[in-house]
Amino acid sequence: MITRNLNCATALGVMMALCVSKPGFAQIPKNMLKVGVLSDMSGPFSQQAGPGSVVAAEMGAEKFRAEAGDLKVEIVSADHQNKVDVGSSIVRSWIDRDGVTAIVDMPNSGVALAVANLANEKNRVTLASTAASSDMTGKDCKSTTVQWDWDTWALGNAIARAVTAAGGKRWYFISFDYALGRALERDTTEALASVGGQVLGGVKHPLGTMDFSSYILQAQSSGADAIALGDTGTDAVNAIKQMAEFGVFNGKTKLAALFLLLTDVQALGTELAQGTLLAEPFYWDLNDKTRDFATRFAARMNGQMPTTDHAGVYSSTLAYLRAAKAANTIVGDKVVAEMRKNTIDDDLFGPTNVRIDGRAVHNMYVFQVKSPSESKNKYDLYKLVSTIPPEQAFRPLNAGGCPLVK
């Protein structure tokens, strides 16, 4: 477990306020807000999130410093190893023993769903900034959970429309065999039905698969003109590289990459990834504010530009800290209720509203990966295709089955 204790003695100076404790925050024990970054530090999602998520959380805490008053903030972090029992054990210890008041990141939907249940029992906040299963704001929604970046419904909706418009009408899925893959396939299938697409079949693979040959052969034999990847990270990169070796991209078959991030495209390279359509709510080179954040992030990450996951950790951490201060409490449902009160003027995602189901809604974007001749450097990877406004980007509030929605 990695612990980063932010206090007045640290050389980095990331304590949020004076160390002198004053009255005024009696409902926040010891005037301390403690955020736990629960991530994949060395596995298939470690480049998307991992150590970069810890840096992003620290940056959010530093931003809060100017307005913290007497409040202090501590950032701690740990590796959930993509195991539900490991993640749950860490969080239980964090809350019961260490006084952690909110959990952020969680790039594994199975882990995130379990943590959200546990945190809800303790009435502490889950900031599911990286977990993508739409069940988190659907049937498994909690009054203590906020899902920040995106979800499987938003991803499936955007890519289904973009790929079918480009001619990919008959789909075959290659998906993770756990919560994320099932949700991606389910939500994308729903979106396809609304735009005249057809699902011919699909196959599931375990997390950490290295050999995709049998899955690719099944997809090719199906007669599909679009192969959809219901996975992400190292698995998606391996699958796409092997699809190229099998000659899948012959001009007739479309790639429906449902969940690619900047680091995945970097790993593929523009020669292989060029022309791929993908959906994200953040890109480092989108505007002046995203570029400013990216420059500061890269200075701490050996030049690496932030992914959407990193941006979501930063923004959701900052929004949580502000809401906890305003509500003067660490009680989870009260802090989330405070987050819902007003539109959040977020530097990275634009105007953002947190709904009663916990879904943070903002713009989504469809990007296309640039060709080698268009890309000026290894981080210059996307060109904007379209902007999807919040009311179209995310599942309608009454359609997810969240019991909090009346």
Q: Tell me the per-residue pLDDT of 210-261, one tens digit each, with 9 for 90 and over.
A: 999 999 999 999 999 999 999 999 999 999 999 999 999 877 899 999 999 9
Q: What is the pLDDT of residue 406?
A: 86
- Please name the residues in contact with 230: beta carbons below 8 A apart, sequence gap of 6 or more: 173, 174, 175, 176, 180, 181, 184, 185, 188, 202, 258, 259
Q: Which residues pair with 220 in a beta bridge?
A: none
Q: What is the pLDDT of residue 76?
A: 98
pLDDT in tens, 395-404: 999 999 999 9
Could you check whether 2-150+285-362 and 153-280+363-397 share the same CATH topology? yes
pLDDT in tens, 36-46: 999 999 999 99
User: Is 300 a residue whose pLDDT tops 60?
Assistant: yes
| Domain range annotation of the chain | 2-150+285-362, 153-280+363-397
pTM for this one? 0.91
Q: Which residues pair with 176 in a beta bridge?
A: 205
Q: What is the pLDDT of residue 188?
A: 97
User: Is 9 a residue whose pLDDT tops 50?
Assistant: no
Quick one: pLDDT band at residue 27, thresholds 50, 70, 90?
Answer: confident
Q: What is the pLDDT of residue 250?
A: 75
Q: What is the pLDDT of residue 25?
A: 41
CA atoms within 13 A on the CB side of 52: 27
User: Is 26 a residue whose pLDDT tops 90?
Assistant: no
2-150+285-362 to CATH, choices 3.40.50.970, 3.90.920.20, 3.40.50.2300, 3.40.570.10: 3.40.50.2300
Please compute the mean of the pLDDT values over residues 106-132 and round it to a whole number: 97
- Please name the residues in contact with 62: beta carbons below 8 A apart, sequence gap of 6 or more: 14
Q: What is the pLDDT of residue 5?
A: 42
3-state SS assignment for residue 320: helix
User: Is 269 a residue whose pLDDT tops 80?
Assistant: yes
Please compute the mean of the pLDDT values over residues 348-373 and round it to a whole number: 97
Please compute the mean of the pLDDT values over residues 141-149 and round it to a whole number: 98
CA distance 219 to 334: 48
The mean predicted confidence, pLDDT, of the chain is 93
Quick one: pLDDT band at residue 346, thresholds 50, 70, 90?
Answer: very high
Please compute the mean of the pLDDT values over residues 132-158 and round it to a whole number: 97
pLDDT in tens, 93-113: 999 999 999 999 999 999 999
User: Is 16 a residue whose pLDDT tops 80?
Assistant: no
% residues pLDDT > 90 (the chain)? 92
153-280+363-397 to CATH, choices 3.40.50.2300, 3.90.228.20, 3.30.70.1230, 3.40.50.620: 3.40.50.2300
Please compute the mean of the pLDDT values over residues 270-286 and round it to a whole number: 95
344-346 and 382-388 strand pairing: unpaired
Long-range contacts of 63-67 (CB under 8 A, 24+ apart): 63/314, 63/318, 64/16, 64/318, 64/321, 64/322, 65/14, 65/15, 65/16, 65/17, 67/322, 67/325
Torsion, Cα 357 358 363 368, to 10 degrees, reads -100
Quick one: pLDDT band at residue 331, thresholds 50, 70, 90?
Answer: very high
